[in-house]
C-alpha cells in the first residue's frame, strides 16, 4: 500500500493522473499478450529506479529515433524522465563533442554489464569501416568496444537488425547488421522504422521480468512479430472472397479490397501493424490503401521488391 | 595562429557531422564542416523499378521524412508525363505542410532550444514570477503557478536522482546562457509540451499516409488513401491541424520572440550572403507560378532584387571532398569517384560535395524562402517579417543572422499552417461535389528523364531520374544540407555554414555552446547530404538537367 501511495504521489507530481497511467499499463499488457493481472506489476516496474540506456546511431536515417519519440504509452517525456535513463543519444542529448563522449564513457564504466545498448543503423565494414566515423573512430570499432560491455544489445530497426537499406544490393559499403558485423547476439526490433510500442514493450518486459522477451529464429520478440500481417489484416476476408484491388484508381480501392495483386507482402511479413497500428492507433499502410512492403523482414529491400509486383 | 577546436559528434542533428574551428581572440577565425557518413543510396537505386524509388529515397532521412519520397514521386511523375489529380496534389501539399509543422516545432524545442535555455537554472525560478511572465508573453494554457511548480518539482526529482540522462554533461552554467531562471522554467515546460505535441502532430501523416515516420501512402501517379476521404478522417486531420496551430501561435512563436529578446546580439552573428529557393506548394496545376513560396535567388543580401533561377547554373565541386578530381562540374556532367582518405582540412575533409550556383555558395531553407518571398512582395510573409522586426526593435539587417534564421523558421511555420486551411477547404469541396479521384493511370516510359524540384523544411531539394528500359538508369539527389553544410569548393570558397561560423564569439572552447547555436540554426541533416556512386566500379553519373 505504501508503495502504491508513493507511486500515486509521484504520478500526480508529474501531472499524470492515475487513470492515464493505468491506461497505458493496460495497453502495454495487451501488446505484450499478458493477462490483466499483470497490470499492477507493470505499473510497479515503470516506477522503479531507471535502467541506464545508451543509444548508438550508425549508418541510419534517424527514422527509428524519431519513431521512438512518437511513443504515447508512455509519452516520450515520461520514458526519458521517469522510466529509463537515456545517457547517450546523439539526436536529443544536450552536450556535443567531448562532453557527449564523456556521457557515453561514464555510463559504460559506471555500469559495466548493466546498461542496455540500443543500436540504430547498419555498420559499414568495407575498407575497415571508413564509411562511417564518430570522433576519429569507425562505427565498427565503436560497436566492438561498447556492445560487448552491455547487459544486452537491442537492434532497433531493420538496418541494425539485418543490414537494411544500406545493405541493399549492391551494398556499396559492405554494410552489415550488428550481429553479423561484430558477432554478438542481439534482440531485434525490425521495421522501417519499427512501431515504438514494440520497443517500449521490450523495455517493459525487461523491467517486469528482469529479462528480455522470448524471440523467434530471427531474433524478434514473439509478442510483436509472432504472426503474419496477412493473418491479422482487416482486409483478409476480401482475400478469402477473391476481392482484389488492381488499380489505385478503382472502385475496388475505394471499397478497401485486398491489396495482394498490387504487391502486398503481408502474407510473408511477421509484424503486429494491423493490430496496434501506428501513431496512437491512427492507421497503418494497408489501411491507407498501400501494400505492405515487408519492412520487418531480413533483406526486404531486395527480397520483397519490386514492391508493386504481386508475390 | 589560433586555437583549434574539434566538435565531433555534433549532437541534436540528424546524422554524423564534425565541425573544426580555429579560435582567435575569443572569436571563430576559421571553420570546416565535415560529413562523416556515406551510404550510397543512388547506387542501390540503379536497375530497380522507378515506382519503388520513393520508398528507398525516403530512407535518406527519417527526420525530414516524407520529403524525399515526395521529391522522387514528383521526378517519376515528371518523367512519365503524369498530371496528378487535384486531390492528390492537395493531399501531397497537406502532408508536406504537416511535415513543416512537425519538423520546425521539433527543431526549435528538441534540437536547438538547449543552446539558449539553461535547464538547471530553471530550478532556481520562482514559479509565481514565471506564471506572471507567462501571462504577459503567451495565451498558452498550462501556464499557472501550479503548472510551473509541478514542472519544477518534476525537474528537481529528476536532477536529485543523479541520473541526468540526456541532460548529463550539458553546458549548464555557461556564461553564454542569458535567460533569467523564470524564462528558463517557462522554456523547460514548453520543451516537455513540445515532446507530446510533436507526437500528436505526426498523426496528421498517419491519417492520409498510414504512418509516421516514413509514410506509406504515396505512389507515382498520386496517393493511395482511397478509403480515407471521409468526413471523419478529414475532420480528424483538421482537429490535429487546429491543435498544432494553437501550439504554433500560442507557444512556439511567443517563445521565439521572448527568447530572441534576450539574445538580440545574435542578430549580428551567423549570417551568410546568397540565398536560393526552388519554391514550393503548387496551389494549382501550373508550376512554378502557383507556388506559395516563390522560386528565386538573392545575391549579396540584395533582397530588393530577386533573380530568376536557372538550374543550369548549378555546379558541384569535389576539390575538398573525398572524391577523385578537383574540378567543379554541373550535375549534368557530374563525375563522382569516391576516394576515402585521411581527414585533412587543408585538403579533403568531407563526404559532401560543394554545390555552387553561378559559382557562389547559397544558403537554402527557411531564411532563404522568407527573404525571397519578402523580396517578391508576398503579403503574408511581408506582414510577418515586418511585424517581428518591429516587436524586437531590430533593423532588417538582423535577418542575416542565426537569430534571423531561427525566426524565419517560426514565421514560415505560421504562414504554411495558415495556407493549409485553404487546402483542406479545397479537399472538402472536391469530395462534396463527388470528386474523389486520387490517382492517375499511366504507362511507364521505356526511356525518359524527370526532375522533382522541391522546397522542404531544410531548403531546396532536387531529385533527378533517368529511366532506361523502364528501370532506373540513374538517380541523383542534390539536397538542402549539402548546400548549407558542404565544404569549400574548387575556388576554396567556404560553404554557407563555414561562412556563418566566422566571428562567432566563444566564451569557453570547452563548452562551445555559441558554435552550436549557429550550426543548429541550419537544422543539419547529414544522412541525405551525401550522394555518391559505386566505389567499386567508379561508375560515372551523367545527367541532362532539364
Q: What is the pLDDT of residues B17-26, one digit of tens each?
A: 999 999 999 9
Residue A223, CB half-sphere, CA atoms under 13 Å: how many? 23
B291's enclosing H/E stretch is: strand B291-293
Nearest to B169 among A63, A95, A135 (CB): A95
Q: Which of A5-19, A182-196, B174-188, B280-294 has the lowest average pLDDT?
A: A5-19
Q: For chain B, positions 484-503, list CB contacts with chain A under 8 A.
A: none
Residue A15, pLDDT score: 53
Residue A63 pLDDT greater than 50, yes or no = yes
Residue A195 is classified by DSSP as P
- d(CA B546, CA B542) in angstroms, rounded, equals 13
**How far is CA A38 from each of CA A10, A43, A226, B453, rounded to the nearest angstrom?**
21, 9, 21, 53
**How far is CA B395 from each of CA B300, B377, B386, rounded to the nearest angstrom?**
17, 18, 10
Determine, for residues B62 and A98 on separate chains, whether the beta-carbon distance falls below 8 Å.
no
Point out the catalytic residue in the list B68, B107, B348, B463.
Answer: B68
Average pLDDT over residues A225-250: 98
| Number of other residues whose CB lies within 10 A of the CB of residue A5 | 9
Residue B311 pLDDT greater than 80, yes or no = yes
| Number of other residues whose CB lies within 10 A of the CB of residue B266 | 25
- Measured over the CA atoms of residue A233, residue B62, residue A161 and residue A68, the dihedral's sign is negative
Residue B332 pLDDT greater than 80, yes or no = no
Residue B377 pLDDT greater than 60, yes or no = yes
Residue A270 is classified by DSSP as B
Average pLDDT over residues B506-512: 94
Residue B536, pLDDT score: 35
Chain A contacts of B63, Cβ < 8 Å? 61-63, 66, 91
> Packing angle between helix B181-201 and helix B253-262, nearest 10 degrees?
150
pLDDT band at B434 (very low <50, low <70, confident <90, very high): very high
What is the pLDDT of chain B when averaged over all its residues? 93
Residue B504 pLDDT greater than 50, yes or no = yes
What is the pLDDT of chain A when averaged over all its residues? 90
Nearest to A290 among B18, B210, B212 (CB): B210
Residue B542, pLDDT score: 35
**How far is CA A281 from each of CA A197, A273, A286, A299, B210, rounded to the nearest angstrom?**
11, 9, 13, 27, 10
Q: Is B159 on the interface with A (CB under 8 A)?
A: no
Q: Do strands B218-219 and B471-478 pair parallel, antiparallel, or not at all (unpaired)?
A: unpaired
Residue B477, pLDDT score: 86
Share of chain A above pLDDT 70, in %: 85
Residue B323, pLDDT score: 82
**How far is CA B379 from each of CA A191, A299, B164, B375, B413, rounded to the nearest angstrom?**
44, 50, 46, 10, 15
Contact B350, B487 (CB under 8 A): yes
- d(CA B367, CA B484) in angstroms, rounded, equals 12
Residue A28, pLDDT score: 63
- Helix, strand, coil percentages in chain A from 3-state DSSP, rounded to 5: 45, 15, 40
Contact A295, A192 (CB under 8 A): yes
B372 SS3 class: helix
B127-B132-B133-B135 Cα dihedral, nearest 10 degrees: 120
Residue A205 pLDDT greater than 60, yes or no = yes
Residue A23 pLDDT greater than 70, yes or no = no
Determine, for residues A63 and B214 on separate chains, whether the beta-carbon distance falls below 8 Å.
yes
- A176 → chain B, closest CA residue: B39
Residue B493, pLDDT score: 96
Residue A246 pLDDT greater than 80, yes or no = yes
Selection from B227, B212, B242, B253 nearest residue B96 by Cα: B212
Residue A211 pLDDT greater than 70, yes or no = yes
Q: Which of B107-111, B331-335, B390-394 has the lowest average pLDDT?
A: B331-335
Contact B184, B119 (CB under 8 A): yes
Contact B225, A289 (CB under 8 A): yes
- d(CA A68, CA A200) in angstroms, rounded, equals 8
Residue B185 pLDDT greater than 50, yes or no = yes
pLDDT in tens, B84-109: 999 999 999 999 999 999 999 999 99
Chain B contacts of A61, Cβ < 8 Å? 14, 59-63, 527-528
pLDDT in tens, B21-74: 999 999 999 999 998 887 788 889 999 999 999 999 999 999 999 999 999 999
Q: Is B29 a catalytic residue?
A: no
Average pLDDT over residues B522-542: 56
Share of chain B above pLDDT 70, in %: 95
Average pLDDT over residues A121-126: 96
A311 SS3 class: coil
- d(CA A53, CA A229) in angstroms, rounded, equals 31
- B440 → chain A, closest CA residue: A249
User: To probe the interface with A, which of B68, B99, B112, B169 has the most A CB atoms within 10 Å?
Assistant: B169
Determine, for residues A308 and B170 on separate chains, whether the beta-carbon distance falls below 8 Å.
no
Residue B527 pLDDT greater than 90, yes or no = no
> Packing angle between helix B67-79 and helix B86-106, nearest 10 degrees?
150
- d(CA A139, CA A143) in angstroms, rounded, equals 6
- The pTM score is 0.93
Q: Which of B296-305, B486-495, B531-540 has the lowest average pLDDT?
A: B531-540
Average pLDDT over residues A100-128: 95
pLDDT in tens, A162-175: 999 999 999 989 99
Contact A253, A270 (CB under 8 A): no
List, in sequence order, every beta strand (DSSP E) within A125-230. 133-134, 137-138, 152-156, 175-176, 187-189
List, in sequence order, every beta strand (DSSP E) within chain A. 52-57, 85-89, 116-120, 123-124, 133-134, 137-138, 152-156, 175-176, 187-189
Q: Is B143 a catalytic residue?
A: no
> What are the φ/ψ torsions at residue B179 (nearest 5 degrees)?
-80, 140
Q: Is B64 a catalytic residue?
A: yes
Output Rg (C-alpha) for chain A, integer angstroms.
20
> What are the φ/ψ torsions at residue B45 (nearest 5 degrees)?
-75, -25
Q: Do strands B280-282 and B275-277 pair parallel, antiparallel, or not at all (unpaired)?
A: unpaired
pLDDT band at A24 (very low <50, low <70, confident <90, very high): low
Share of chain B above pLDDT 90, in %: 85
Q: Is B14 a catalytic residue?
A: yes
Chain A contacts of B116, Cβ < 8 Å? none
- d(CA B275, CA B369) in angstroms, rounded, equals 8
Determine, for residues B40 and A103 on separate chains, whether the beta-carbon distance falls below 8 Å.
no
Long-range contacts (CB closer than 8 Å, 24 or more residues apart) made by B46-49 = B46/B472, B46/B473, B46/B474, B46/B475, B47/B471, B47/B472, B48/A305, B48/A306, B48/B471, B48/B472, B49/A305, B49/A306, B49/A307, B49/A308, B49/A309, B49/B470, B49/B471, B49/B472
Contacts of B161 (CB under 8 A, 6+ apart): A49, A50
**How far is CA A75 from each of CA A285, B67, B186, B224, rounded to the nearest angstrom?**
23, 26, 20, 30
Q: For chain A, positions 50-109, list CB contacts with chain B under 8 A.
A: 50, 52, 57, 59-67, 69-72, 75-77, 80-81, 84-87, 89-100, 102-103, 106
Q: Is B102 a catalytic residue?
A: no
pLDDT band at B156 (very low <50, low <70, confident <90, very high): very high
Residue B544 pLDDT greater than 50, yes or no = no
Amino acid at each position: 500500500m505504501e508503495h502504491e501511495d508513493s507511486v500515486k504521489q509521484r504520478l500526480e507530481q508529474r501531472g499524470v493522473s492515475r487513470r492515464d497511467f493505468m491506461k497505458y499499463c493496460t495497453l502495454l499488457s495487451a501488446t505484450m499478450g499478458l493477462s490483466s493481472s499483470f497490470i499492477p506489476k507493470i505499473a510497479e516496474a515503470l516506477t522503479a529506479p531507471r535502467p541506464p540506456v545508451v543509444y548508438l546511431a550508425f549508418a541510419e536515417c534517424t527514422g527509428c529515433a524519431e519513431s521512438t519519440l512518437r511513443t504515447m504509452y508512455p509519452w516520450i517525456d515520461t520514458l526519458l524522465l521517469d522510466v529509463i535513463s537515456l545517457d547517450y543519444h546523439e539526436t536529443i542529448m544536450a552536450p556535443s563533442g567531448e562532453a557527449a563522449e564523456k556521457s557515453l564513457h561514464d555510463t559504460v564504466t559506471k555500469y559495466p554489464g548493466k546498461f542496455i545498448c540500443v543500436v540504430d543503423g547498419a555498420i559499414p565494414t568495407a575498407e575497415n569501416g571508413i564509411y562511417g566515423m564518430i570522433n576519429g573512430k569507425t562505427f565498427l570499432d565503436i560497436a566492438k568496444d561498447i556492445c560487448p560491455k552491455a547487459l544486452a544489445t537491442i537492434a532497433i530497426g531493420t538496418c541494425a537488425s539485418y543490414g537494411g537499406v544500406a545493405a541493399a544490393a549492391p551494398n556499396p559499403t559492405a554494410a552489415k547488421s550488428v550481429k553479423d558485423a561484430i558477432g554478438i547476439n542481439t534482440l531485434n526490433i525490425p521495421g522501417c522504422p519499427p512501431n515504438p510500442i514494440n520497443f517500449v514493450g521490450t523495455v517493459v518486459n525487461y523491467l517486469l521480468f528482469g529479462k528480455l522477451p522470448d524471440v523467434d529464429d530471427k531474433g524478434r520478440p514473439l509478442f510483436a512479430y509472432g504472426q503474419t500481417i496477412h493473418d491479422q489484416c482487416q482486409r483478409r476476408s476480401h482475400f478469402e472472397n477473391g476481392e482484389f484491388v488492381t488499380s489505385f484508381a478503382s472502385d475496388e480501392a475505394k471499397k478497401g479490397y485486398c491489396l495482394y495483386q498490387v504487391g502486398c507482402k503481408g502474407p510473408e511479413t511477421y509484424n503486429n501493424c494491423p493490430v496496434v497500428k501506428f501513431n496512437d492507433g491512427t492507421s497503418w499502410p494497408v489501411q491507407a490503401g498501400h501494400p505492405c512492403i515487408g519492412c520487418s523482414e531480413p533483406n526486404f529491400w531486395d527480397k520483397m521488391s519490386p514492391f508493386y509486383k504481386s508475390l | 595562429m589560433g586555437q583549434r577546436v574539434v566538435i565531433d559528434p555534433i549532437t541534436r542533428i540528424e546524422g554524423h557531422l564534425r565541425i573544426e574551428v580555429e579560435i582567435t581572440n575569443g572569436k571563430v577565425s576559421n571553420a570546416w564542416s565535415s560529413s562523416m557518413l556515406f551510404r550510397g543510396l543512388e547506387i542501390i537505386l540503379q536497375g530497380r523499378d522507378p515506382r519503388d524509388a520513393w520508398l528507398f529515397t525516403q530512407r535518406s532521412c527519417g527526420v525530414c521524412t516524407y520529403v524525399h519520397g515526395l521529391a522522387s514521386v514528383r521526378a517519376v511523375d515528371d518523367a512519365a508525363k503524369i498530371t496528378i489529380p487535384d486531390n492528390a496534389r492537395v493531399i501531397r501539399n497537406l502532408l508536406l505542410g504537416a511535415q513543416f509543422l512537425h519538423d520546425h516545432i521539433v527543431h526549435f524545442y528538441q534540437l536547438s532550444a538547449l543552446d539558449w535555455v539553461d535547464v538547471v537554472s530553471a530550478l532556481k525560478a520562482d514559479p509565481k514570477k514565471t506564471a506572471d511572465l507567462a501571462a504577459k508573453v503567451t495565451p498558452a494554457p498550462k501556464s499557472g503557478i501550479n503548472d510551473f511548480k509541478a514542472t519544477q518539482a518534476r525537474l528537481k526529482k529528476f536532477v536529485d536522482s543523479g541520473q541526468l540522462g540526456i541532460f548529463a554533461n550539458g553546458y549548464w552554467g555557461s556564461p553564454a546562457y542569458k535567460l533569467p531562471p523564470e524564462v528558463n522554467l517557462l522554456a523547460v515546460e514548453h520543451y516537455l509540451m513540445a515532446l507530446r505535441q510533436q507526437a500528436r502532430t505526426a498523426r496528421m501523416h498517419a491519417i492520409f499516409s498510414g504512418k509516421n515516420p516514413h509514410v506509406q501512402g504515396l505512389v507515382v501517379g498520386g496517393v493511395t488513401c482511397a478509403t480515407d476521404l471521409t468526413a471523419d478522417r478529414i475532420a480528424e486531420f483538421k482537429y490535429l491541424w487546429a491543435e498544432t496551430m494553437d501550439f504554433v501561435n500560442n507557444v512556439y512563436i511567443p517563445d521565439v520572440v521572448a527568447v530572441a529578446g534576450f539574445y538580440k546580439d545574435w542578430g549580428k552573428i551567423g549570417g551568410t550572403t546568397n540565398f536560393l529557393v526552388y519554391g514550393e506548394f503548387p496551389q494549382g496545376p501550373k508550376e512554378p507560378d502557383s507556388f506559395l513560396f516563390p522560386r528565386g535567388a538573392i545575391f549579396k543580401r540584395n533582397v530588393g532584387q530577386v533573380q530568376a533561377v536557372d538550374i543550369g547554373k548549378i555546379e558541384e565541386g569535389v576539390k575538398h571532398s573525398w572524391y577523385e578530381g578537383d574540378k567543379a562540374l554541373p550535375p549534368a556532367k557530374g563525375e563522382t569517384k569516391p576516394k576515402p582518405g585521411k581527414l585533412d582540412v587543408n585538403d579533403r575533409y568531407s563526404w559532401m560535395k560543394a554545390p555552387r550556383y553561378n559559382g557562389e555558395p547559397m544558403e537554402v531553407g527557411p531564411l532563404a524562402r522568407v527573404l525571397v518571398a519578402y523580396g517578391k512582395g508576398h503579403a503574408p510573409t511581408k506582414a510577418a517579417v515586418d511585424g517581428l522586426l518591429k516587436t524586437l526593435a531590430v533593423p532588417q539587417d538582423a535577418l542575416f543572422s542565426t537569430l534571423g534564421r531561427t525566426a524565419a523558421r517560426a514565421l514560415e511555420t505560421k504562414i504554411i499552417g495558415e495556407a493549409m486551411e485553404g487546402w483542406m477547404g479545397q479537399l472538402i469541396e472536391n469530395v462534396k461535389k463527388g470528386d474523389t479521384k486520387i490517382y492517375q493511370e499511366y504507362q511507364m516510359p521505356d526511356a525518359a528523364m524527370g526532375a522533382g524540384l522541391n522546397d522542404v523544411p531544410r531548403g531546396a531539394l532536387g531529385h533527378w531520374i533517368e529511366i532506361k528500359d523502364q528501370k532506373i538508369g540513374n538517380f541523383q539527389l542534390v539536397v538542402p544540407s549539402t548546400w548549407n553544410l558542404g565544404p569549400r569548393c574548387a575556388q576554396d570558397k567556404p560553404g554557407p555554414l563555414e561562412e556563418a561560423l566566422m566571428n562567432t564569439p566563444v566564451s569557453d572552447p570547452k563548452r562551445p555552446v555559441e558554435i552550436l547555436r549557429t550550426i543548429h540554426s541550419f537544422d543539419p541533416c547529414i544522412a541525405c547530404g551525401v550522394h555518391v556512386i559505386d566505389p567499386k566500379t567508379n561508375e560515372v553519373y551523367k545527367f541532362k538537367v532539364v
